[in-house]
């Protein structure tokens, strides 16, 4: 069967002849930046890499909309922040007092996460761009052609703007808000805008940082400024009459620039909760996820799925399967290639087995390496990587693991072994004599063989083993679990359980 071409290569093939390309991406840092936001950046970066692989000249830019205003009091903000609603994010103090501004507080961790994920775009901040005057010409055009913009918005979205509408939101020099001002005039030569504010103030601001274009005009205005040719965006912007449809008309008819090639992506849903949104606090941040999985796996989660397919993200057991799919190179080969930023070789130790070994080691590095070595894994060549995975596993156990995955090897024989049947105890005694030099897989097979020999239900026999070591009826994959423990301890415990009464 012919292998299907990866979605990023399909897009790159369409764009190949129209290069060079500028792929733009960006977000508004209004709250914690989550792995749902990462989909936009990863979609852009995958196509960027696919273009470069085809020898097409391309650049990747990231525009943080730091000059957008705080729209409401989000659940994660203190009540005192209600006074900042309507002010640009870059001009509001940091909610924790640790950064230069509100915008930086949420943007900086995201930029660090992008670095860890091997994504290195040219980064631009909207507040800096406006203050530097990069938007002056676009602002002048918008103010002069206000009626044309209003007509496009009405024709495309079906909504008429009020008579007092302006494509420019001035920042009040008294209260600092953009949502309470009304433009009353402008001077193209002086590059200024006059306004009045509902706080009672009137004034004149510069087109260089004294305000910003409203979103539906700001987005297409930036396309010619950066010569953008490709841009991913969420399905909310792609609806009929939505901001891409209005942006396309504004870009082509007002700014005389062809709208970029659109790449629409679906949301990432958090299992059992729904789509992630910064404003609701329903998020798993990128930093949290990078504490649980290697960067390549987080890339793979997104790159292996077509952008138009929604991702159901479950950080519990399915996450383990995803790591193993990537590590053992069992998934889409091209998606793995685009994800493998460190050019690493397949990782031999399954993540599921690391979960077992970490719980056996209980924080002791040497015990971890002993447990892995006993299971038959190489613990010398990738020692640092193993320790990194162990940290990932511990965080996963602390935050996301279902209760039934967690266990603790009991130092003494659990009292519950007294409930075992004579045949189950006999089976444990036979097993004790037969596992001396066996591998993990051989021990696993031996458990089944002993159960069959004694006519025991294999599931019940598994439970008997777990009860002897964990005091519980369930546990990790039995052969690999027993192989990870000190062999003399295993034999002694099995014999103790066999003779318990």
Mean pLDDT of the 243-263 span: 97
pLDDT of residue 203 exceeding 90, the answer is: yes
Q: Is residue 277 very low, low, confident or very high in pLDDT (cuts 50, 70, 90)?
A: low
C-alpha dihedral, 470 to 474 to 478 to 483, nearest 10° = -20
Question: Could you read off the pLDDT of 397-407 as tens digits, one per residue?
Answer: 999 899 999 99
Residues 439-452 pLDDT 10s = 999 999 999 999 99
The token duo for 214 is 């409203």
Instruction: Give the chain's radius of gyration (CA, Å).
Output: 30
What is the average per-residue pLDDT within 60-80?
A: 96
Judged by DSSP in three states, 288 sits in helix
Q: Provide CATH code, domain 7-135+216-265.
A: 3.40.50.620
CA atoms within 13 A on the CB side of 165: 20
- Looking at residue 301, its pLDDT comes to 92
DSSP 327-348: HTT-S-HHHHHHH-TT-PPPP-
* Res. 2: pLDDT tops 70: no
Give the rounded distance of the alpha carbon of 159 from its chain centre.
35
Helix (H), strand (E) at residue 280: none
Per-residue model confidence (pLDDT) at position 1:
33
Distance of CA 452 to the CA centre of its chain: 47
Where in the chain are the domains?
A: 7-135+216-265, 156-213, 270-339, 351-405, 415-499
| Vertex 193: Cα angle to 191 and 195 (nearest 5) | 170
Residue 156: both structure tokens together: 């495309």
Ramachandran quadrant class, 451 (left: phi over 0; alpha: psi -120 to 50; beta: rest): alpha
Please name which of 209, 188, 204, 189 lies closest in space to residue 145, comparing C-alpha atoms.
Answer: 188
Residues with Cβ within 8 Å of 482's Cβ and at least 6 positions away in sequence, in order, are 435, 440, 443, 465, 490
| CATH architecture entry for 415-499 | Orthogonal Bundle (1.10)
Mean pLDDT of 425-447: 95
Give residue 446's pLDDT: 96
* CA 3 to centroid of chain Cα atoms: 27
Instruction: Please give the pLDDT value at position 193.
Output: 98
Query: Coil, strand or helix: which one is 28?
Result: coil
Q: 147-167, pLDDT tens digit by residue?
A: 999 999 999 999 999 999 999
Beta partners for residue 58, in sequence order: 21
Do 7-135+216-265 and 415-499 have matching folds? no
């Amino acid at each position: 069967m012919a292998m299907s071409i990866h979605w990023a290569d399909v897009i790159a093939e369409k764009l190949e002849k129209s290069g060079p390309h500028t792929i733009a991406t960006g977000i508004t840092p209004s709250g914690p930046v989550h792995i749902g936001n990462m989909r936009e950046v990863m979609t852009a970066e995958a196509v960027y890499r696919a273009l470069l692989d085809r020898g097409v000249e391309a650049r990747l830019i990231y525009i943080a909309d730091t000059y957008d205003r705080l729209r409401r009091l989000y659940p994660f903000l203190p009540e005192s922040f209600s006074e900042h609603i309507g002010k640009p994010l870059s001009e509001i103090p940091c909610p924790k007092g640790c950064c230069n501004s509100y915008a930086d507080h949420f943007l900086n961790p995201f930029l660090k996460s992008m670095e860890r994920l091997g994504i290195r775009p040219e980064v631009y901040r909207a507040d800096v761009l406006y203050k530097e005057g990069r938007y002056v010409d676009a602002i002048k055009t918008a103010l002069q052609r206000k009626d044309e913009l209003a007509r496009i918005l009405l024709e495309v979205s079906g909504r008429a703007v009020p008579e007092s509408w302006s494509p420019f939101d001035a920042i009040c020099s008294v209260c600092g808000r953009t949502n309470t001002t009304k433009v009353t005039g402008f001077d193209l030569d002086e590059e200024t805008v006059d306004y009045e504010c509902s706080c009672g103030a009137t004034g004149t601001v510069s087109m260089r940082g004294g305000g910003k274009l409203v979103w539906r005009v700001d987005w297409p205005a930036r396309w010619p400024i950066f010569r953008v040719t490709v841009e991913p965006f969420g399905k909310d912007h792609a609806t009929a009459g939505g901001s891409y449809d209005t942006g396309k008309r504004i870009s082509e008819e007002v700014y005389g620039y062809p709208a970029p090639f659109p790449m629409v992506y679906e949301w990432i849903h958090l299992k059992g909760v729904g789509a992630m949104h910064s404003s609701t606090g329903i998020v798993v941040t990128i930093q949290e996820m990078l504490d649980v999985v290697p960067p390549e796996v987080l890339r793979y989660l997104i790159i292996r799925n077509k952008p138009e397919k929604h991702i159901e993200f479950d950080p519990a057991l399915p996450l383990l399967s995803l790591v193993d799919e990537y590590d053992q190179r069992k998934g889409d080969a091209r998606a793995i290639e685009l994800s493998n930023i460190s050019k690493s070789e397949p990782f031999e130790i399954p993540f599921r087995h690391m979960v077992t070994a970490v719980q056996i080691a209980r924080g002791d590095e040497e015990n971890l390496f002993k447990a892995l070595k006993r299971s038959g894994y190489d613990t010398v060549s990738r020692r640092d990587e193993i320790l990194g995975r162990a940290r990932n596993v511990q965080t996963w156990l602390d935050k996301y693991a279902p209760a039934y995955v967690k266990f603790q090897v009991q130092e003494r024989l659990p009292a519950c072994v007294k409930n075992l049947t004579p045949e189950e105890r006999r089976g444990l005694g036979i097993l004790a004599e037969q596992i001396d030099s066996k591998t993990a897989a051989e021990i696993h097979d031996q458990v089944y063989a002993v159960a069959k020999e004694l006519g025991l239900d294999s599931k019940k026999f598994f439970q008997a083993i777990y009860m002897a070591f964990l005091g519980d009826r369930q546990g990790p994959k039995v052969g690999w679990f027993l192989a990870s423990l000190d062999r003399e301890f295993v034999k002694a415990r099995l014999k103790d359980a066999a003779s318990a009464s």
